[in-house]
Chains A and B, each alone.
Chain A
Amino acid sequence: MNPVRLIGRAALSLTRGIGAVTLFTLRGLFRLRPFHGRAFGAQLVQIGWLSLPVVGLTALFTGAALALQIHSGGARFQASDVVPAIVAIGMVRELGPVLGGLMVAARVASSIAAEIGTMKVTEQIDALVTLSTDPMRWLVTPRLWAAVLTVPVLVGVGDIIGIMGGWLVGTQSLGFNSTAYLANTSAYLERWDVVSGLLKGAVFGLIVAVCGCWFGIHSGRGAAGVGRATKSAVVAAAVGILAANFVLTGLFFE
C-alpha cells in the first residue's frame, strides 16, 4: 500500500481516537444530572479508601529507599546532610504522585475495566438503559469524579508516609537527629511543591478512571474481551500517567 496513504490513515485514526476519548471524558465529567450520589459514595470508598493500604506501603518503602540512596550517593560529594530535604522534595513533587498514580492505575483501572467490561458482556449495561438510567451518568461520572477527588488525597497521605519512611531510616540507621530531620524537611519544602504534587494526583486520577471506563465500555465479547480491556486499561493508564507527569513537570517547574 502507498506509504503516504498508510500514514494518513494512521493520523486520521489517531485523531478520531483522541477526539472520541476527549468527548467521552467531557461527557463523563459534566453530564451531572441526575447525579447518582450512592454510586459516587461507593466509588469514593472503592477508589480512595481501599487504595490507601497499597499507596501507603508503596510510599513508605519508596521514602525509606530514597533516604538510603541519597545518603550513600550524597556521601560521594559530602552532601549526606541533604537527605531530609531531598526525600521531602522528591516524594512530594515526583515520587508520591507518580508511584501513587501507578499503584492506583494497577488497582483501579484494571478493576473498573473488568467490572464495566463484564457488565457489558452480561447485558447489565443494556439493563441500565431499560431502567431509564444513562450508563454514562451511572457508571462513568461517579468513577471519574471519585478518582479526581480521591487520588490527590491519596497522594497527600502517601507524601506524608513517604517522608516518614525517610525519617524512620534517617533516624534509625543513618544517625540523623529526629528533631533536626523534621525541621530540615519543613524548612526546604515549599507550598508549591505540595500543591503541584496534588494537582498531578488529580490529573492522574482522571487518567486512571478514563482509561478504566473507556476500555471497559468498549470491551470485546467474552472473557477474552474483558481480559484484553483490563490489560489495555492498565497499560494506557500507566503510560498516560508517565507522559502527563513529564508534561506537568515541565509546565510547573520550567
Chain B
Amino acid sequence: MIQVSGLRKSFGGKPVLSGVDLAVGQGESLCVIGQSGTGKSVLLKCILGLTQPDAGQILWQGRPLDRRTRPAFMARFGMLFQGAALFDSLTVWQNVAFRLRQRMPDAQARAVAIEKLARVGLGPETADLMPAELSGGMAKRAGLARAIADDPAVIFFDEPTTGLDPIRARRINDLIRGIVTETGATAITITHDMDSVRAIGDRVALLQDGRIAWEGQVPAMDHAAPLAGFLGNTPPL
C-alpha cells in the first residue's frame, strides 16, 4: 500500500536519510525503530509531504504521491503526534471533529467526536474541555480520537508513548493495537519503546545510519543481530 524507495534527505549537507527502502502492506502495522536523531520523524514528514526529499519515490497504492495524488491520500489519513498537537484554541470535541466539521453540521460532528472519545476511553465530560485542561495521557487519547475520527485507511503514530508512565503507555499501546486491528487500517509507528513495538507491530524496521539496517516480523527481532545493541541484548553467537 505504501512503498518508499531510495529516499534521501540531507540538512545543511548532513545526510539524514541515505536511501531508505520500505514497504507496508494493506492492513499491516509496521514499527520503525531507531535511536534519537536517526531520521525517523524525517521519514514520516517526507511521506506526508511536510518535508521535501532530495531524492527517492513514495508510492501509495502503486501511484507516486505528488501534488495530484496527495489530497486523496491525506483525505484517508490520520496521525497521532508525539505531543498530541491538539489545537489550543479549540475544545476537545472540536479538535476531534476538526475535519468532520468542514462537511457536516456541528451537532452531528459532535456526536461522532463523543463516540470516538468513548472509543479511546474518554467520557463525554471531556468533550467541552480545552486541551490545556487535559493531562498528558488524556491529551494523547484525544489526539488518538482525532486521528481515527474520519475512519482513516492509513494511520501514523509518532512516538505514541513518549512522556507517559508505564501504565498509561500500556493503555495507549493496547488502544492503538485494538484500533488498528478493528479498523484494518495500515499503520506506521515511529518509536524507540520496544514494549510499543511488541504491542502494536506486525513488522519492525530498524533505521540506522540513514538506511533500513534490518526488517522482519516482530517475534524475530529478539534474535536479530543488528537489533541486539539497540535492544541491549548480547548478540547470539
Q: Which residues of A contact B (CB under 8 A)?
A: 34, 42, 115, 118-119, 122-124, 126-127, 129-133
Contacts and interface: CB of A to CB of B under 8 A. Distances in A.
Interface string B57-80: 000000000000001001101110
Contacts of A133: 98-99, 102
Contact of B85 (A34, A115, A124, A132): A124
B177 to A, nearest CB: 21
Interface in B91-107: 98-99, 102
Residue among B49, B50, B71 with most chain A CB within 10 A: B50
Given A118-B88, A132-B74, A132-B75, A126 B81 contact: yes
A167 B82 CA distance: 59
Interface string B142-164: 00001000000000100000000
A130 B102 contact: no
B224 interface: no
Nearest to B156: A130
15 contacts: A34-B102, A115-B88, A122-B83, A123-B81, A123-B83, A124-B87, A126-B48, A126-B85, A127-B86, A129-B50, A130-B78, A131-B99, A131-B146, A132-B71, A133-B99
Contacts of B81: 123, 126-127
A131 B85 contact: no
For the residues of A in contact with B, the DSSP-based class is: helix
Q: How large is the interface on B (under 10, 10 to 19, 20 to 34, 35 or more residues)?
A: 20 to 34
A123 B88 CA distance: 12
Nearest to A46: B89
Contacts of A132: 71, 74-75, 99
B82 A130 contact: no
B83 A131 contact: no
Contacts of A130: 48, 74, 77-79, 156
Nearest to B72: A132
Interface of B: 45, 48-50, 71, 74-75, 77-79, 81-83, 85-89, 98-99, 102, 146, 156
Nearest to A121: B83
B112 to A, nearest CB: 14
Contacts of A131: 98-99, 146
Given A129-B50, A130-B77, A133-B102, 20 more contacts: A42-B89, A115-B88, A115-B89, A119-B88, A122-B85, A123-B81, A123-B83, A124-B85, A124-B86, A124-B88, A126-B48, A127-B79, A127-B81, A127-B85, A127-B86, A127-B87, A129-B49, A130-B78, A131-B98, A132-B71
A42 B86 CA distance: 18
Contacts of B79: 127, 130
A122 B81 CA distance: 9
Given A124-B85, A124-B87, A129 B98 contact: no
Contacts of A122: 83, 85
A114 to B, nearest CB: 11
Top 4 nearest A-B pairs (CB, nearest first) are: A127-B85, A123-B85, A130-B79, A132-B74
A49 B90 CA distance: 20
B70 to A, nearest CB: 10
Given A132-B74, A132-B75, A126 B98 contact: no
A123 B49 contact: no
Contacts of A123: 81-83, 85
B97 to A, nearest CB: 11
A127 B71 CA distance: 15
Contacts of B78: 130
Most buried by B among A126, A129, A131: A131
A100 B80 CA distance: 42
Contacts of A127: 79, 81, 85-87
A42 B94 CA distance: 14
A1 to B, nearest CB: 21
A29 to B, nearest CB: 21
Contacts of B88: 115, 118-119, 124
Nearest to A39: B89
The residue in B48, B82, B102, B146 that gathers the most chain A C-beta atoms within 10 A of its C-beta is: B102
